[in-house]
Amino acid sequence: MASVARVLIIDDARESGRALARALGDAQLEVTIASWSDTTPADAAELAPDLVLVCIEGFAGGGAARCARLRAEPVLDGVPLVVAAGAGEQDELARCLELGADDALVVPVHDRIAATRIQGLIEGRQARETQAELSRTLERGKQAFGRTVDALRRSAEAVADTEKRKRYLETHDALTGLANRSYFREFARRTLGYARRYGQTLAVLSINLDHFDRVNENLGHAVGDKLLESVARRVRACVRGSDIVARLGGDDFAVLLTSLSTRADAALVARKIQESVTRPHEAASGEILVTPSIGVAVFPDDGETPDSLLRSADVALHRVKEEGRGQFQFYSSEMKAGSLEGMRLEVLMRDALERREFVLYFQPQVDVEKRELIGCEALLRWIHPDHGLIHPAEFIPIAEESGLITPIGEWVLREACAQKLRWERAGLGNFPVAVNVSRRQFRGRGFDSVVASVLRDTHLSPDHLEIELTENALMEDVPQTLGTLRCLRRMGVGLAIDDFGTGYSSLSVLGQFPANRLKIDQAFVRDIAREPTRAAITRAVLAVSGELGLDVVAEGVETCEERDFLAELGCQRMQGYLFGRPVPADEFASVWADGGELPD
């Protein structure tokens, strides 16, 4: 017995859909009615309809977009598509036919006419599929002579299922079920063509989850995957059926918003996504909190192709990241200029190590009471052959963002240790060299092993190396931080807390870190003699540090007045322009070979 043909009717209003369903049911067709918002490509694939009938009455331009969306779905490839609308909407029906609909009905329509036309389309498709299947069956029979007909049928069904799954995975993300990058670009291309023709406004949202890597690192990738699925569901719930949500990779998502009235509509959706994604996500280990950063680009102002719109949205997203994360911003031409400069520096930086364009400068640390050199800090400089000296403030943030800070930081560590040993062999002092380490480098795999390898290769004594970390870097993932710090201290390496007072820690947490030195940030040193609050904070830091056995170095000392006031407070170790600016290694050695000259 032949199977009953299945018809999927998509109708939000349900009135025309129910009338057509009755007519088709009387014609012995199996009918399923669904609303647009409840129907996804996966739902359509599971129903496996022989024909899809879309009622587009009252959608004022949205019907053609829905038609294009359905015709673009791989899982509905070859399935006849019929659209139905009232007599006053025949222009919309014509646009649907242009976009790939197989037939159009003007409702109300006579039951027998509707049934006959729909049955004709179904039978035509079935005849084509039957012919194709017969041809394939005959060919397989020739190649596999001796198999039974039943085995051939099962094989054909398995191949069909596999092919359908393969086509689905070619266009959708396996984890979240969202569209993937290639399908997003293709859908956007089609939609932009329609919007260009009819003067519509669209928007692309580029979404990234802030600090998602910490979820994977601390809770495992299985929990991270569950979080991505939860985020995907929430983002999809924030948009209309005619919009599309895609996972581009990792924790990067994109949204295409169609048929917008104004830019403000895009802002409303971005805010809605922020509020939804920011709510706690349930996990086996408890609730997880995550915030999204969102960049928004609008067609046609910010780009006229899918790729250009995504690039503009990514530039806006990057600006959100720079300014604190967890917000959304629209793209602007000013952002593009800054982004291009950052990209240019990143490209130049990738070759700088190999071309030996990085150099180290050294700044002295002194004991003003003993009037002697007690150490120095190694500071990175970039001297480009064409652009000259590039200030660290320009390239260090880009190196951090791109990940280049890790190989650059290892070079700094290795070169500082090697230079210190060269000085020792030349008879220059018995003092440590301090090296700043970035948060990203410190959090990388096996940082303590890198330090051990550098010391082993350069033959520098561990007590002649001091690692400087900012207090903010120390306060991230305290258990891991303590493990790494204790390992370094067991080697004999010195540890200094840099820029103290500028982060979010307090004096009470100093005791838990195995540091031997604390550096007071120059923000508290500047004009300290005339700023009672700065003086009070510095006095408190000195008192607590003394109780904990920590040496204290005041940074940024530029005047004799600041030096004398700090000395009266009990701080004898200082660093700043008053005692010497950062200079190349040879110049540092020539100045301090005979003890240097300290100002009176």
Do 367 and 313 share a structural domain? no
What was the pLDDT predicted at 147?
Answer: 56
Whether residue 597 lies inside any domain: the answer is no
Q: With a cut of 60, say whether residue 508 has pLDDT above it.
A: no
Measured CA to CA, the distance from residue 114 to residue 79 in angstroms comes to 17
CATH number, domain of 264, equals 3.30.70.270
Structure token pair of residue 473: 């870097």
The residues that bridge with 330 in the sheet, in sequence order, are 296
Q: 16-25, 151-160, 470-479 — which is least confidently predicted?
A: 151-160
**Are 193 and 296 found together in one domain?**
yes
Q: Report d(CA 57, CA 198) in Å as an integer.
A: 19
Q: Are residues 10 and 135 in the same domain?
A: yes
Tokens of 547: 């109780």
Sheet bearing 292-299, strands edge to edge: 244-249, 252-260, 201-209, 292-299, 328-330
For 287, the domain range is 181-331
Domain end among 104, 136, 171: 171
Q: Are 30 and 5 in contact (CB under 8 A)?
A: yes
Report if residue 347 sits inside a domain.
no
Separation of alpha carbons 48 and 73, rounded Å: 13
Domain contains 242: yes
336 within some domain: no
The pLDDT of 221-233, averaged and rounded, is: 93
In a domain, 270, yes or no: yes
Could you read off the pLDDT of 16-33 as tens digits, one per residue? 788 888 888 888 888 888
Last residue of a domain, one of 122, 149, 171: 171
Q: Tell me how many domains the chain contains.
A: 3
* Higher-confidence position of 596 and 382: 382
421 and 530 part of one domain: yes
Domain identity same for 110 and 244: no
Give the containing element (helix H, strand E) for 36: none
- Amino acid letter, 369: E
pLDDT classification of 540: cutoffs 50, 70, 90: confident
**CATH of residue 463:** 3.20.20.450
The interaxial angle of helices 149-171 and 111-143, nearest 10 deg, is 110
Query: What is d(CA 519, CA 509) in angstroms, rounded to the nearest whole number?
Result: 15
Under the banding of pLDDT at 50, 70 and 90, the label for residue 503 is very low
For residues 128 and 109, membership in a common domain is answered with: yes
pLDDT at 34 over 60: yes
Q: pLDDT tens digit string along 486-496?
A: 999 999 999 99
Cα dihedral: 106, 110, 116, 117 (round 10) = -10
- What is the predicted pLDDT for the residue at 58? 66
Residue 497's H or E segment, with its range, is strand 494-500
- Dump pLDDT digits (tens) for 300-359: 888 889 998 998 898 888 888 877 788 999 988 776 545 545 667 777 888 888 888 999
Q: Does 523 share its domain with 586?
A: yes
And the tokens for 516? 């031997």
Determine the pLDDT at residue 128. Answer: 82
User: Which of 221, 218, 191, 208 is CA-nearest to residue 306?
Assistant: 191
Report pLDDT digits (tens) over 51-90.
899 888 766 557 788 888 888 888 788 889 998 888 888 8
One domain for residues 160 and 212: no
CA distance 473 to 446: 16
Tell whether 494 and 377 lie within a shared domain: yes
Between CA 535 and CA 568 the distance in angstroms is 11
- The closest alpha carbon to 229, from 182, 285, 177, 171, belongs to 177
HSE-CB at 506 with a 13 A cutoff on CA atoms is: 1
Kindly state the percentage of the chain with pLDDT values over 70. Answer: 90
* Average pLDDT rounded to a whole number, residues 443-452: 87
Q: Are 390 and 292 found together in one domain?
A: no
pLDDT(473) > 50: yes
- Assess whether 498 and 542 both reside in one domain: yes
Of 171, 194, 220, which residue is a domain's last?
A: 171
Instruction: Give me 415's structure tokens.
Output: 């070169």
Q: How much helix, strand and coil, in percent to the nearest 5, is found in the chain?
A: 55, 20, 25
Q: Is 343 inside any structural domain? A: no
CATH number for the domain harbouring residue 121: 3.40.50.2300
State the pLDDT at residue 294.
95
Is 287 in the same domain as 433?
Answer: no
Distance CA 241, CA 268 (A): 16
Contact 328, 320 (CB under 8 A): yes
Q: What is the pTM of this model?
A: 0.51
CB atoms within 10 A of CB 72: 20
Cα Rg of the chain, angstroms: 34
At residue 1, the pLDDT reads 47
Confidence of residue 380 (pLDDT cuts 50, 70, 90): very high
Chain mean pLDDT for the chain: 85
Residue 339 inside a domain? The answer is: no
What is the C-alpha separation between 223 and 573, in angstroms, rounded? 48
DSSP string, 388-454: EEEPHHHHHHHHHHHTTHHHHHHHHHHHHHHHHHHHHHTT--S--EEEE--HHHHHSTTHHHHHHHH
In a domain, 67, yes or no: yes
Q: Compute the residue count for the chain.
A: 600
pLDDT (tens digit per residue) in 251-283: 999 999 998 988 899 999 999 999 999 999 988
By three-state DSSP, how is residue 250 classified?
coil
